[in-house]
Amino acid sequence: MSPTMPSDRTTTVLLVEDDPAHAEIVRRNFSAVGVPYCMEHVSDGETALDYLRHTGRYQGYAPARPGLVLLDLRLPRLGGLEVLAAIKGDEALGSIPVVALTTSSANEDVEQAYLLGVNSYVVKPFERDVFEELLTTLGRYWLQWNEQPRA
């Protein structure tokens, strides 16, 4: 398969983002890629782990295993670094790619995220047009070009 051709499989993206405006920008720009995908959105860290572990309100419901988690670090209830540690420390979840998509460019956050196993760390630009371009490129990379093992 050519890396510029759409994949024959649909990727589920779990977006963990507490800012509704940012979540909408992510959705819109991932859709612009033109590759089929399913985006699930949760707004806090505890709900993200419930989704991934099929616990809490997701108990008895088996949502699709994400092919990608987009993770804000500044989250209510349970911070993004704690969520990242839980994902990467769980044998059943650890292979899911996690991209930190955050406003924090603090070196200690970047270092900690990589120590915990983040696959990529992306700082949200303040300029809306730059943010949108970044998201379209990020979506194209993860949905169209990146190869992942088939289930």
CB 7 within 8 A of CB 35: yes
| Spatial CA neighbour of 13 closest among 97, 125, 95 | 97
Domains in the chain, ordered, with CATH? Answer: 13-139 (3.40.50.2300)
Token look-up 């977006």 returns 15
Residues belonging to the chain: 151
pLDDT computed for residue 9 by the predictor? 62
| Spatial CA neighbour of 32 closest among 106, 118, 127, 135 | 135
The DSSP output letter for 123 is: E
CA-to-CA dists, residue 146 to 3, 18, 23, 107, angstroms: 8, 26, 22, 27
CA Rg value for the chain: 15
CB 14 within 8 A of CB 38: no
Residues with Cβ within 8 Å of residue 52, at least 6 apart in sequence: 14, 66, 69, 87, 90, 93, 96
> The pTM is what?
0.90
CB-neighbour burial class of residue 88 (10 A; exposed 0-12, middle 13-18, buried 19+): middle
Task: For the chain, 151 residues long, give each residue's pLDDT as a single digit of tens.
Answer: 223 333 456 899 999 999 999 999 999 999 998 888 999 999 999 999 999 999 999 998 877 899 999 999 999 999 999 999 999 999 999 999 999 999 999 999 999 999 999 999 999 999 999 999 999 999 999 999 988 777 5
